[in-house]
Structure formats: C-alpha cells, structure tokens
Amino acid sequence: MKRQNDPKNAPVGAPMGRPKLKTGVLKRLLKMLVQFYPVLIPLTVVCILFTAIASAIPAVFLQRVTELIETWQEIAVTQQLSAADAWAQASAEILPQILFLAVMYVISLVTITLDTQLTAYITQGFLCKMRRTMFDRMQNLPIKYFDTHKHGDIMSYYTNDIDTLRQLVAQSIPTMIRASIVVLSVLFIMFYYSIWLTLLLFVGVLFMMLVTKKVGGGSAKYFLRLQKSVARLEGFVQEMMNGQKVVKVFNHEDAAVRDFTEINEALFEESYRANANANMLGPILMNIGNVMYVIVAMVGGLILVTGVPNFSLSGLPFGVDIIVPFLSMTKQFTGNINQVSQQINSIVMGMAGAERIFELMDQVPEVDDGYVTLVNAKLSPDGTITETAEHTGHWAWKHPHSADGSVTYTLLEGDVRMVEVDFAYEEGKNVLHDVTLYAEPGQKVAFVGATGAGKTTITNLINRFYDIADGKVRYDGININKIKKSDLRRSLGIVLQETNLFTGTVMDNIRYGKLDATDEECIRAARLAGADDFITRLPKGYETELTNNGANLSQGQRQLIAIARAAVADPPVMILDEATSSIDTRTEAIVQKGMDALMKGRTVFVIAHRLSTVRNSDVIMVLDHGRIIERGDHQHLIDQKGQYYQLYTGAFELE
C-alpha cells in the first residue's frame, strides 16, 4: 500500500483542472472579517477609498495646470508681457491648485499610514481569531476524526493554510480594492477627457487580460499543487521525527533520506513552476503597459496634428493639456491592472487555504444529546439525596424528566452494564458482536485476548469515544446516551497504553487529572501510584520541566505519572488499558501496591496482556474476534481448561 504522503500519489505532471475562484468561500471569509471587526473594516475601506481617489487626482491637476499655463502663455504673447509679469498674474490661479494638491497629499499620507496600521492589526488579529476558532472547533471533534486524519496534515491547517490567509488579508484584498478604485476613477477621468484614446487603451487592457489568463492561470495551478506538496512534506517530517528511534534501530536512515528527497524534489518542481510563471507575468504586463504608453502618445500626437475633433464627455478641445495627463493616466491604469493580475496567485492560494480551513471548521462536531449531569451530592440519614455546591465526596446523577418537570437523583456508584452490544468502526464491519457484561460497584473486571479481539473497543464505548450501533450501555441504571459526555468522562479515570505528557512541570502533568487539585493532593496521588520516589530524585523534583512528551523520562516513569494523573482525579470508575505494560517486573511490584490502593472501592476495567496482573480480578472475560467466549474468575477459568488456561500456561500464544 502506498503511503499517503508519497509524492507518487500526486505526480508533478498529473493533469489538473484550471483552478476556479470559489466566490462562496470568499464571501464567507469577508463575512467573518466584518463580524470580527465591524468598525475597523469599514474604516479601513474608507482609508483605502480616499487614498485611491487621491492618487487619481494628480491627472486632473496636471490637465488643469497645463491648460492654465497654455492660456497664460497665449496671453503673455498677445499682450507682450514679461515672464515675471505673466507668472505674477498666472500664479494667482495656479498656486491654489498646487496648494489643494499638497493638502490632498498630506491627507493621503495620513490615510495611508492609518490604512497600513489598521491592515496590520486586522490581519494578525483575524489570524489569531481564526486559529482560536479552529482550535475550539477541533476540541469538539470526535475521536474518529483524529484516528482517520494524519496529524501532520492537521498541523498544516495552523501553519501553511493560515499563512495563505495572511497574504490574502494583508496584501491581496487591500490591493484589489485599491487598484479597482483607482482603475474606475482613472477610467472615468479618461472618458471625460477623450473617448478615442480610452477605447485605444481598452485594446491593450484586453490583451493584458488574455496574457494574465494564460500565464497567471498556469501559475495558480502550480501554486495549488505547491500547497499540497508543503502539506505532504510537513506530514513526512513529523512522521520521521516521531519515529526517529525506529528509523535508527532498523538502520532506515538512507531510505528515509531517499523518501524525503523524493518529496522535497516534488516540492521543488511545484515551487519552481509556480514562481517561474508568477515572476514572468509582472514583466510581461509592465512591458505591455510601456508599449501602450508609446502607442497612446503616437496616436494622441496624430490626432493633434491632423486636427481630428475630440470626442469626450467634457467637450474640451483636443490639445497638449489632454495628451499630457492622459499619458500619466495610461501608466497609472496599466500599472494598477498589473497589480491586480499579480494578486491572482495569492488569491487562489488564499481561497484554497480558506477552503481547507472551512472544511476543518465544518466537520460535524461530536454529538452530545445527553441531559443527565453529575453533581455533588449530600446523603441524609434517611437515604435522601440532595444536590449541594460543596464537595462532599459523594456524587449523584441529576436526571430531569421532561414529562412532568421533576428531577431525580441517582447515587454514583459505578455500576456499568452492556447488553447485546454490536459495534463497527466502519459500517458493515462489526468488531463487537452481541457483547453482554456487567461490572458491579467495586468489582475489578479484566479483558484478555489477542490483539484486535475488541478489548480497547469496549472501553472506548464506555466513555463514549464512539457510540454503539445496537444494544444498550447503562451506567448506574442510566442509558449513557442520556448522560452528558463531559459529565460521563468526569466520572471515569483512564490510563492508556500510550502515555501522553504535556509541556510543563511534573506537578502540572499530574494536576491535569484535576485542575483544582492542590500540591498536597498531587503528591499524595504520586505516592499512591508509586511515582513519588523517582520524582523526588529528579533535578527539581515536582517542578522538573517536561518537554517533548517527557522524553527525558523512561517509558515506565512516564506511565507512573499517567497513573498518578488518574489517581488525583479520584473517579469511581477506572479504566486501565495496559497501564503497566511499559513497567518492568520489579517496578510493577512497587506499582501494584499503589494500584491496589487506587482500585480499592472502585469499579475497575483492566486490559492486560500480562496475565499475572489480572489474576486477582473478580471477573475475567476472554475475547476472540469481538465475542466474549469465556468469563469467570481466575480459578474458574483455569479449571475449565479453555482458551484462558492455554493463554495462562503458555500453550497458546496471546497474539
């Protein structure tokens, strides 16, 4: 089977349709921007609008000043005025024009400064809010999502895809707005002065659009491939980092380098093609603009020489005062068309990144239709249960009844029952078949069987990481589908086979099981789990910093901290999924005393391959291909001389 991140799965030369700008994604993105910044976004648009219009005013100013100079030049010749006298009279009309333009430039400078500051603030704030929104949504996704998606690909949402939004919001959208306003403003002014020259300019613009579609469309296609290649590279690097020990143990370094080189070369090809096309577009359009400048100058000169009447909205006669500002506007017009064209790739990439982000945000969240909650309970001498805000050491299920509006309380005891349960991770492929079991309060129930028999799946159903397809799961007589998931999981303590420690101190990691636990409670839990001895010998004891999933600790020490984390939560039900699998025999003997104390008075589900750890269980259930084939205590199953007997005596391999 090919790896998901194998570049061969997406070859460089693979056919790919022309990317399309999905307006729905853009509308949603702009809507979120306005929702996050309902005041700053309009203010920024006003600043961009004023700046863009101000940039078109010099053309009008140039036409007016040129016209005044020509007029006063004729007056000076006619009246035989000296240059000083002519300027003295002309300056009365010209200087106000210059003063007005200077004021406009000063205001434009203020709006540009405000625009850049607001854009920077909005962009970084928007990305911050997007990351927070994504993370909030991700926390509500079911476990299945993380089981079926590569973690490196999920990480790329927060890095690669978010970065494309940065370019889109900070650069592309403002540039598009600014350039569009300038183009429309200049276009109106050009029509006002000369329709002939404006139509001539349209021919050049049409040619520029054709070039942009051909060259820009090709580069956008490669930019999309580039984005996917970056995600593949990130996923591969993360996979290699997580499995570095395995790589070294099996001398796989050279093969890993070859695989990385293949993916990296694919990334190089996509990056080269994307940037080569994008870098080529700018100079081509700039030179088309230069050619149009020359053509407009030549045609304008011919019209002036031949005396062709001007056709315009202004009705002004065609002269130098029309040609000079028109040439300036030609540069401005084609330059802004060029700027718009340069943003196509960033917009396409931003839309692709936004689409991926919205896919994550639109994932169906974990369904929780439970209404039974867990509350602190106070027991009266007559056995009546009442709700209290104080922690009394007793818990109860608060069950509101919609039929009559009454509320009943059921004491949390840890009675767990499964009745005729069927379950499949994929529809039509059941991994549990007609499973029926019960665990009374305080009982220790063990599951044994070969890998893939369904042991961990049963515990996943108890805490509702997955929901059953058929049957019933009851907790203290209540269907767990009626219990809010957060309250259900608060009543369960879990120690997984795969230990996860977080960046922070040892104390922080133990307190993760109960965020309001005191230091004394955390230390007591560590002693109960048998972890206090090695923790106190660490450089800073409980304040020792852990990083990289506790890489500076042994696997057994990490597992002991995980057990202490479950102990500090003090739940009535414990699930131990191979909790001592990473602990050596000597350490296991130390831990077992703490584990026995931890399990005392609790309902405990134990999954173990090491059968010595389940001998003292009240009930041992042997699973095979999702079915319970044997059940009973240790001696009963030994006397039966069935599969458990074969497993225990070594006559049958567990795997």
pLDDT digits (tens, 9 = 90+) for 42-55: 999 888 888 877 77
pLDDT at 38 over 90: yes
Are 423 and 566 part of one and the same domain? yes
Question: How many domains is the chain built from?
Answer: 3
Are 38 and 177 part of one and the same domain? yes
* 74: confidence class by pLDDT, cuts 50, 70, 90: low
Are 354 and 382 part of one and the same domain? no
Are 332 and 438 part of one and the same domain? no
CA dihedral 532, 536, 539, 543 (to 10 degrees): 70
Are 384 and 333 part of one and the same domain? no
* 281: confidence class by pLDDT, cuts 50, 70, 90: confident
In a domain, 103, yes or no: yes
Interhelix angle for 555-569 vs 585-599, to 10°? Answer: 10
Are 344 and 406 part of one and the same domain? no
pLDDT digits (tens, 9 = 90+) for 19-36: 455 568 888 998 999 999
Mean per-residue pLDDT of the chain: 81
pLDDT at 330 over 90: no
In a domain, 108, yes or no: yes
Are 32 and 141 part of one and the same domain? yes
pLDDT at 17 over 50: no
Distance CA 223, CA 3 (A): 23
* 535: confidence class by pLDDT, cuts 50, 70, 90: very high
Contact in structure between 340 and 179 (CB atoms under 8 Å): yes
Query: Strand 573-577 relative to strand 603-607: parallel, antiparallel, unpaired?
Result: parallel
Are 165 and 79 part of one and the same domain? yes
pTM above 0.75, yes or no: no
pLDDT digits (tens, 9 = 90+) for 391-437: 777 889 999 988 888 899 999 988 999 999 999 888 878 889 999 99
Domain that holds residue 579: 416-649
In a domain, 15, yes or no: no
Q: What is the pLDDT of residue 18?
A: 45
pLDDT digits (tens, 9 = 90+) for 490-511: 888 888 777 788 888 999 999 9
Are 353 and 468 part of one and the same domain? no
Annotate 296-350 with DSSP letters as a single string.
HHHHHHHHHHHTPPP--SS-PPPSHHHHHHHHHHHHHHHHHHHHHHHTHHHHHHH
Distances (CA, A) of 44 to 36, 144, 202, 250: 14, 42, 31, 58
In a domain, 10, yes or no: no
In a domain, 491, yes or no: yes
In a domain, 555, yes or no: yes
Are 127 and 203 part of one and the same domain? yes
pLDDT at 474 over 90: yes
* 522: confidence class by pLDDT, cuts 50, 70, 90: very high
Distance CA 414, CA 624 (A): 26
Are 446 and 391 part of one and the same domain? no
Q: What is the pLDDT of residue 6?
A: 41
pLDDT at 220 over 70: no
Distances (CA, A) of 419 to 328, 338, 414, 473: 83, 69, 16, 6
% of the chain with per-residue pLDDT over 90: 15
Distance CA 415, CA 397 (A): 12
Distance CA 613, CA 604 (A): 13
Kindly report the CATH number assigned to the domain that includes residue 334.
1.20.1560.10
Distance CA 609, CA 577 (A): 10
pLDDT at 13 over 60: no
Are 593 and 615 part of one and the same domain? yes
In a domain, 612, yes or no: yes
Q: In sequence order, what are the residues at sequence separation of 6 or more whose Cβ sits closer than 8 angstroms to the Cβ of residue 129? A: 36
What is the three-class DSSP state of 379? strand
* 86: confidence class by pLDDT, cuts 50, 70, 90: low
In a domain, 94, yes or no: yes
Kindly report the CATH number assigned to the domain that includes residue 454.
3.40.50.300
